[in-house]
């Protein structure tokens, strides 16, 4: 045990030095760490296999997730949700909609088309910059994503083998070279690269001595200059941008002028329809617009199960707020985080963007924990550094979950300033401004001197942030008229990756003892009741007693009106429990002979596995408590 933990610590040190978004990581839950032998505990692919495989297998076996088009050999980057999976996804989406739209008065919904006018993607920047760097091998003509080309290289095998060398104190170049040669095929599909590595062994061992790290060796192997093709060792072209939007032609004429795109995010429709929604929903800034829907990205290398796929579903909120300068004019002072505002109560009119941003981070975390049941210690709140932020963004928080294949972004909460609406105003030539009565009134009594002082303050602030003084002046002049383009806070979540996180979090294998004292492994999905595909399963103890059976059917029908229920009449009760455990059903109700006598049933909880007798009359209220 002690060894394992130590091993993990050093692994953490070694492997978290990578780029933030590609950090390799072992999930912190002891149940999985226990499974690693010391030798493989720091090889990620191995961990992935160990941890994700049983989940993938359960998902297939119990109808959560299938490969798209499986009978035709599958289709990379596309997945289908089976009977259990679509209930899980529906529950996630319904819970998000309920909390983000229906339970709030300051958020309106939108359901826009996936294919929109291509000018939207010009304005948003996607047409010009939503691209991955691609290179091609001049020899074998294979196309690869430049920054991922070497991912096919079997990192784990090399790391494992070299770690063994180091552990044994063996640093003899000749032996490593022989070993590389003999294991060449299993190391990678790219023998030439291994061969090349062989010629660079002195260099490699310098590194190994320096940091004692297999990772360093791998990085050397992975970044030769010039980098050869990982398949054939040939020379590669310079990386060129490849746009990730799926393109199609709308209308009958095959002409580039008729090109349109599948949306790569749902957010842009919200910006494009901002004025329509403002005019028709009786909302005023601050308010938000929420949308759930499919988005598409032509990922060059879709991977990590459903995590990075080419078709996925998003839940995005654009929450529009007043610019801080407008708040200052109206309220005299902008409330910032330094004022320690109470984020748990109702939002306040004088909150600045910083407080709104933090408010939404907290809202999203609370939803993850309290509604869909992701434990608070299972995710990390990562604040992007100034260098990582997009040029228009003021702040961005990634909520990262420790997936079996690494810590990855579950959702992001970005403060995007007025960038998007301004872009659409410029490109569509339609105003995206709002008129703010309170602002106009607040500015009315200001004399020329006050206006001048305010203008100079804003200009100084803007120019200190590298922004244009002329623009600052025009912005302030507009403010004095009561007009501005709202800023936006964007909490953006992925349905599929949240579903995957919930599956990973819920999955457990436990050794339990059955009634006869035999121990067995039970597989259980510990879903929060809110997202569980089935809420209640109803079992008649036996099926050959019409009275008992009929009573069970009555109870089933009664519960079915309110919740998604499952009827199971076959096999021993214990086996029926296990089937429900496997799909995460929180409650099972068994109707037996005693039911006919005293009107009670057995209610069995998934997690405690405890059974209690409860009267049928009290059943609905009891379940309601847990499920509402």
Is position 54 an interface residue for its own copies (rule: CB under 8 A)?
A: no
Give me the phi and psi of 614, to 5 degrees please.
Answer: -140, 145
Q: What are the beta bridge partners of residue 396?
A: 414
Residue from 247, 303, 471, 613 binding its own copies (CB under 8 A)? 247
Smallest gap from Cβ 267 to its own copies, in A, equals 14
Residue from 28, 138, 294, 575 binding its own copies (CB under 8 A)? 294
Site for its own copies in 520-539 (CB under 8 A): none
Smallest gap from Cβ 218 to its own copies, in A, equals 25
Give me the phi and psi of 487, to 5 degrees please.
Answer: -90, 170
Smallest gap from Cβ 256 to its own copies, in A, equals 12
Return the ∠ at Cα 359 (arms to 358 and 364), rounded to 5°.
Answer: 100
Is position 86 an interface residue for its own copies (rule: CB under 8 A)?
A: yes
Longest dimension (CA), the chain: 92
Is position 79 an interface residue for its own copies (rule: CB under 8 A)?
A: yes
Question: Residue 409 in contact with residue 436, Cβ under 8 Å?
Answer: no
Is position 558 an interface residue for its own copies (rule: CB under 8 A)?
A: no
Stretch that binds its own copies, among 82-90, 435-443, 474-482, 615-623 (CB under 8 A): 82-90
Q: Which is nearer to its own copies, 208 or 589 (CB)?
A: 589
Spatial separation of the C-alpha atoms in residues 438 and 284, rounded to whole Å: 11
Question: Residue 406 in contact with residue 25, Cβ under 8 Å?
Answer: yes
Residue from 44, 55, 110, 162 binding its own copies (CB under 8 A)? 110
Smallest gap from Cβ 40 to its own copies, in A, equals 31
Site for its own copies in 18-47 (CB under 8 A): none
**Size of interface with its own copies, in residues (CB under 8 A):** 81
Is position 81 an interface residue for its own copies (rule: CB under 8 A)?
A: yes
Is position 68 an interface residue for its own copies (rule: CB under 8 A)?
A: yes
Give the H/E segment covering residue 604: strand 600-605
Residue 586: partners with Cβ closer than 8 Å, 6 or more residues away: 527, 529, 532, 535, 536, 605, 606, 607, 626, 627
Residue from 50, 384, 455, 564 binding its own copies (CB under 8 A)? 564
Residue from 50, 273, 558, 594 binding its own copies (CB under 8 A)? 273
Compute how many other C-beta atoms are within 10 angstroms of the C-beta atom of residue 374.
Answer: 24
Site for its own copies in 142-171 (CB under 8 A): 143, 145
Residue 359: partners with Cβ closer than 8 Å, 6 or more residues away: 343, 347, 351
Residue from 53, 70, 509, 598 binding its own copies (CB under 8 A)? 70
Stretch that binds its own copies, among 231-239, 280-288, 396-404, 453-461 (CB under 8 A): 280-288
Chain centroid to Cα 63, Å, comes to: 22
Spatial separation of the C-alpha atoms in residues 82 and 70, rounded to whole Å: 13
- From residue 424 to residue 463, the character string flagging contacts with its own copies as x (rule: CB under 8 A) and all else as - is x--xx-x---------------------------------
Is position 485 an interface residue for its own copies (rule: CB under 8 A)?
A: no
Stretch that binds its own copies, among 6-14, 45-53, 151-159, 294-302 (CB under 8 A): 294-302
Cis peptide before 212 (omega within 30 of 0): no
What are the structure tokens assigned to 11, written together?
A: 């692994």
Site for its own copies in 304-323 (CB under 8 A): 310-311
Question: Residue 152 in contact with residue 252, Cβ under 8 Å?
Answer: no
Is position 584 an interface residue for its own copies (rule: CB under 8 A)?
A: no
Spatial separation of the C-alpha atoms in residues 619 and 168, rounded to whole Å: 63
Stretch that binds its own copies, among 108-116, 210-218, 510-518, 520-528 (CB under 8 A): 108-116
Question: Residue 602 in contact with residue 592, Cβ under 8 Å?
Answer: yes
On the 0-12 / 13-18 / 19+ scale of CB atoms within 10 A, 86 is middle
Question: Residue 401 in contact with residue 374, Cβ under 8 Å?
Answer: yes
β pairing state of 247-249 and 483-484: unpaired
Q: Which is nearer to its own copies, 79 or 454 (CB)?
A: 79
Q: Which is nearer to its own copies, 62 or 604 (CB)?
A: 62
Is position 298 an interface residue for its own copies (rule: CB under 8 A)?
A: yes
């Amino acid at each position: 045990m002690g060894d394992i933990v130590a091993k993990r610590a050093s692994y953490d040190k070694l492997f978290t030095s990578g780029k933030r978004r590609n950090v390799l990581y072992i999930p912190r839950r002891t149940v999985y760490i226990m499974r690693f032998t010391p030798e493989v505990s720091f090889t990620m692919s191995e961990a992935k296999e160990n941890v994700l495989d049983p989940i993938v297998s359960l998902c297939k076996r119990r109808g959560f997730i299938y490969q798209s088009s499986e009978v035709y050999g599958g289709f990379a980057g596309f997945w289908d949700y089976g009977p259990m999976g679509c209930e899980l996804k529906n529950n996630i989406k319904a819970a998000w909609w309920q909390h983000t739209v229906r339970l709030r008065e300051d958020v309106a919904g939108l359901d826009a088309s996936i294919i929109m006018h291509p000018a939207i993607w010009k304005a948003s920047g996607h047409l010009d910059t939503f691209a991955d760097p691609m290179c091609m091998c001049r020899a074998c003509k294979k196309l690869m994503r430049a920054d991922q080309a070497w991912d096919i290289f079997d990192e784990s095998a090399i790391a494992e083998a070299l770690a063994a060398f180091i552990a044994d104190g063996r640093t003899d170049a000749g032996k490593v070279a022989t070993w590389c040669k003999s294991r060449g095929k299993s190391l990678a599909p790219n023998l030439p690269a291994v061969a090349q590595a062989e010629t660079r062994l002195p260099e490699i061992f310098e590194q190994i001595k320096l940091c004692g790290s297999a990772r360093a060796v791998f990085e050397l192997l992975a970044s030769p200059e010039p980098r050869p093709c990982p398949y054939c060792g040939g020379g590669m072209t310079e990386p060129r941008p490849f746009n990730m939007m799926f393109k199609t032609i709308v209308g009958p004429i095959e002409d580039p002028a008729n090109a349109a795109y599948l949306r790569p995010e749902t957010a842009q429709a919200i910006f494009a329809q901002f004025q329509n929604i403002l005019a028709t929903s009786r909302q005023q800034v601050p308010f938000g617009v929420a949308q759930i829907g499919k988005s598409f990205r032509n990922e060059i290398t879709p991977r990590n199960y459903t995590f990075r796929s080419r078709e996925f579903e998003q839940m995005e909120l654009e929450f529009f707020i007043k610019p801080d300068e407008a708040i200052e004019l109206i309220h005299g002072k902008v409330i910032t985080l330094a004022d320690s505002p109470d984020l748990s109560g109702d939002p306040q009119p004088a909150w600045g963007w910083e407080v709104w941003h933090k408010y939404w981070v907290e809202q999203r975390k609370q939803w993850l924990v309290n509604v869909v049941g992701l434990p608070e210690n299972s995710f990390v709140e990562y604040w992007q550094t100034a260098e990582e932020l997009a040029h228009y963004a003021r702040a961005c928080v990634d909520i990262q979950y420790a997936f079996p294949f690494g810590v990855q972004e579950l959702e992001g909460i970005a403060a995007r300033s007025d960038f998007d609406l301004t872009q659409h105003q410029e490109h569509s030539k339609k105003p995206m401004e709002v008129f703010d009565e309170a602002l106009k009134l607040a500015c009315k009594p200001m004399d020329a001197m006050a206006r001048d002082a305010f203008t100079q303050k804003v200009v100084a602030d803007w120019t200190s942030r590298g922004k244009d003084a002329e623009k600052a002046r025009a912005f302030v002049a507009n403010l004095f008229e009561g007009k501005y383009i709202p800023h936006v806070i964007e909490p953006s979540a992925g349905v599929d990756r949240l579903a995957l996180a919930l599956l990973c979090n819920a999955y457990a294998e436990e050794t339990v003892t059955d009634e006869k004292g035999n121990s067995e492994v039970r597989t259980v999905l510990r879903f929060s009741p809110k997202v569980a595909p089935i809420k209640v399963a109803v079992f008649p103890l036996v099926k050959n007693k019409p009275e008992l059976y009929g009573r069970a059917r009555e109870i089933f029908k009664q519960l079915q009106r309110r919740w998604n229920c499952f009827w199971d009449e076959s096999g021993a009760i214990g086996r029926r429990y296990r089937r429900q455990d496997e799909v995460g059903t929180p409650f099972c109700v068994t109707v037996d002979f005693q039911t006919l006598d005293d009107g009670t049933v057995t209610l069995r909880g998934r997690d405690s596995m405890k059974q209690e007798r409860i009267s049928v009359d009290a059943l609905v209220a009891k379940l309601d408590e847990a499920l509402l």
